[in-house]
Each structure stands twice: as structure tokens, then as C-alpha cells.
Amino acid sequence: MIQLKDIIKIFTTKGEDIHAVRNVTLDINDGEIFGIIGYSGAGKSTLVRIINQLEKQDSGEVIINGTDIGKLKDSELRKERQKIGMIFQHFNLLWSRTVEENIAFPLEIAKVGKEERQKRVDELIKLVGLEGRGKAYPSELSGGQKQRIGIARALANNPEILLCDEATSALDPDTTESILDLLKRINKELGITIVMITHQMEVVQKICHRIAVMSDGRIVEEGTVKDIFENPKHEVTKRFVTNVDSNGKIEKIQKELKELYPFGQIVRLSFTGEISKKPILDTVLKKVNFPVSIVNANIGHSQIGPMGVMYVHISNGTESEYQEFVKLLRDEGVIVEVL
């Protein structure tokens, strides 16, 4: 378990203080995929870098499985770091080493013998699906393959924790998908706790169990993906959640729909989990006697099941009929917003 207790980090540059992390307290459980989401400059990277002490906090404690790692001696900290893997947005591989040699690097640091090293490297190459590319240099591989080396390298010393700082931000959507699948599999099969930093809601939606939303150095909201999606409270969270539909084009979509359908009402419905599987719309539509047309929809799949947002246009009805429609949907557990 990772426990962050009242962490504060202030950078001083040219006499100006930047409060990168302000009083963050957070518990991350063993075996979970924990997402930290926030806009650029929110302090996410600083926070994860504090977890493995690449950055020292100004106050507060970082306790990993009972050990206060801020108080460790240099040599003890280095031992501890071998148990915390980390992957990066820009992979940070060694250009001068082959794929195999890159993966062997953390094993060399951990003083693993040559034969055992080779055995472990072969296992890892298989695990991340880079068979046959072991002798290649990183520059000869694609971004997705480079990140696979990064992941294999991070897993080399059988860590209990894997920190990912924007691990998919430099990759295209398909490659992102495959890397996320790999991380999910690693979490399931090896039981490794994963801390994922990202500014992409799709990423947390797809693989995280719990998330924390960070803004201006603070954790403004924390909970399961389901809770956060169904009931976002903070302004920043709402922006992230609503941005999931059609990849951040929400405002544009809503504006367009209003222009396209000046009469009647546009209603936004969001579904999560079990209810997405039920024929709710069908049930509800049978009870109303005005036309309902779907004008925009986006359904995705997340850790907690399908998740979707749909816009419908209703017209030729009375105000009370509209209200009845909304009520029927809400009774079924759909989040409804009349625009």
C-alpha cells in the first residue's frame, strides 16, 4: 500500500514560489490501478516523482508498505527503487543498448548474475510481445514497441508498484489501446499496483479502478471510476467527464445540435455499468407518445463495463410530457441533462 500523507512540494524559481503539490493525502491499495488525472501543470508528475523520491517533498510522508521512504539512507532508497518500476511518456531508453540490453539494465543494477539475467530478459520479452526484436536497437522500433521495452524494463526486478507518467500520451489511439491492454494484463496476472498519470479521460476510463482528480496541486476529487463518472462534483472533474463523449468535442457538439434543432429539446443521457446493457430506451420510448430521435451517441468500454453518452432530440410534445420522459429515464438510473 502506498500512503501519501499531507505532501507539500514547492519549487522556487527566480524568487517565485510554485506550489506544485499542496497538502495531498492519498492511499493507494495493493493490486489496484489508480489513476491520477488533471490538466497540464496540475502537479501530477511531481506527485508520482515524490512516490519514488526522484523529487523530495518539502513536508509530508511517503509510506510504502509501512516504510517511510523519505527517511531512508541513499543506499536503502536505491534498493527500494528497484521494487518500484517506472515508465515514461518519452520512454527514456538507452540508445546505445539493444532491446535485450535495455531490459537487462535494471537487472545489472540489482546485481543479478549473467545467466539468470538472460533468462529473465527472455521471459520479459515474451511477456511484452517483442519476440524476435531482442537484438534490435530502440531507434529501429516504433513508439509502441519502445514503450513495451520501457514496460519490460520496469518489470525486470519484479516490482510491487509500477508508476506510469503519461505512458500513452506519445502514442496513437490504436497503440494506446494495446499498451493499456498490456498494463491491464500485467495488473491482473502479476498483481502489480499501477499508478497511472494522464490527462486523457479515456485512459482512466478504460483501465483504472479508482481515480483522483488533481487541480492546482490539490486532489479535488477521489473515488471509483463509476462514482466519478456518474456523479462528478468538482468543476474540473465535470470537464473531464463530459469531455469523454466524442473526444473532447462536447461544447462543439452541443452548439451544433442546438443550431440544427432550434425547436424542441436536446437531452443528454449518460449510462454506466449494468444499466447500459438494459433496453432502457426501448422501455421508456414505449411510454411516451412523441418522437425521439438519437442525434449523437458514443459508447465505450471501461473497467466497470460499458459507458456511454447519447444526445436525443424530442419535439412535438408538451413541457409536462418532456418532464415525464426525463423522470422515466432517471428512474431507470440514467443521468439526464436537458440542454
Partner 1 sequence: MSWLTNINWEQIYEALVETIYMTGVSMIFIVVFGLLIGILLYCTQTGGLYENKYISKVVDVTVNVLRAIPFIIMVFLIIPFTKFLCGTMLGATAAIPSLVFTASPFFARLCVIAFNEVDKGTIEASEAMGASKFEIITKVLLPEALPAIVSGISVTAVTLVGYTAMSGAIGAGGLGNVAYLYGFSRRNGTILYMATAMVVIIVFILQGIGDYLVSKIDKR
Ligand X SMILES: Nc1ncnc2c1ncn2[C@@H]1O[C@H](COP(=O)(O)OP(=O)(O)OP(=O)(O)O)[C@@H](O)[C@H]1O
Q: Taking the CA atoms of the chain, what radius of gyration do you get in angstroms?
A: 23
Count of CA atoms in the C-beta half-sphere (13 A) of 135 = 1
Which among 26-34, 85-93, 256-264, 287-295 is the span making contact with partner 1, rule CB under 8 A? 85-93
Q: Give the β-pairing of 210-215 and 33-38.
A: parallel
Establish if 139 lies at the interface with partner 1 (CB under 8 A). yes
Which of residues 54 and 297 has its CB atom nearest to partner 1 in the complex?
Answer: 54
For 300-323, b where at least 16 C-beta lie within 10 A, e where not — what string? eebbbeebbbbbbbbeebeeeebe
Establish if 84 lies at the interface with partner 1 (CB under 8 A). yes
Which among 36-44, 119-127, 235-243, 249-257 is the span making contact with ligand X, rule CB under 6 A? 36-44
Q: For residues 239 and 214, what is the distance between their CA atoms, to the nearest angstrom?
A: 12
Q: Which does 96 bind (CB under 5 to 8 A by kind): ligand X, Mg ion, partner 1, none?
A: partner 1
In the complex, least distance from residue 182 CB atom to partner 1, rounded to whole angstroms: 19
**Which residues, at least 6 apart from 119, have a Cβ–Cβ distance to it below 8 Å?**
none
Which of residues 104 and 211 has its CB atom nearest to partner 1 in the complex?
Answer: 104
Which of residues 45 and 193 has its CB atom nearest to ligand X in the complex?
Answer: 45
Establish if 38 lies at the interface with ligand X (CB under 6 A). yes
User: What is the layout of strands, in order, in the sheet containing 335-338?
Assistant: 292-302, 305-314, 265-272, 335-338
Establish if 78 lies at the interface with partner 1 (CB under 8 A). yes
Q: For residues 138 and 91, what is the distance between their CA atoms, to the nearest angstrom?
A: 10
Q: Report residue 293: phi and psi, to 5°.
A: -120, 140
Q: Which does 88 bind (CB under 5 to 8 A by kind): Mg ion, ligand X, partner 1, none?
A: partner 1
Establish if 218 lies at the interface with ligand X (CB under 6 A). no
Q: Report residue 193: phi and psi, to 5°.
A: -75, 130
Establish if 20 lies at the interface with ligand X (CB under 6 A). yes
In the complex, least distance from residue 142 CB atom to partner 1, rounded to whole angstroms: 16
Element (H, E) at 260: helix 250-260
Interacting residue with partner 1 among 18, 94, 297, 338 (CB under 8 A): 94
Which among 22-30, 41-49, 64-72, 262-270 is the span making contact with ligand X, rule CB under 6 A? 41-49
Q: Which amino acid is at 131?
A: E
Query: For residue 326, what is its C-alpha cell?
Result: 426525463
Establish if 148 lies at the interface with partner 1 (CB under 8 A). no
Residues in the site for ligand X, rule: CB under 6 A? 11, 13, 18, 20, 38, 40-46, 199
Contact residues toward partner 1 (CB under 8 A) are: 52, 54, 77-82, 84, 86, 88, 90, 92-97, 105-106, 108-110, 137-139, 153, 157, 163
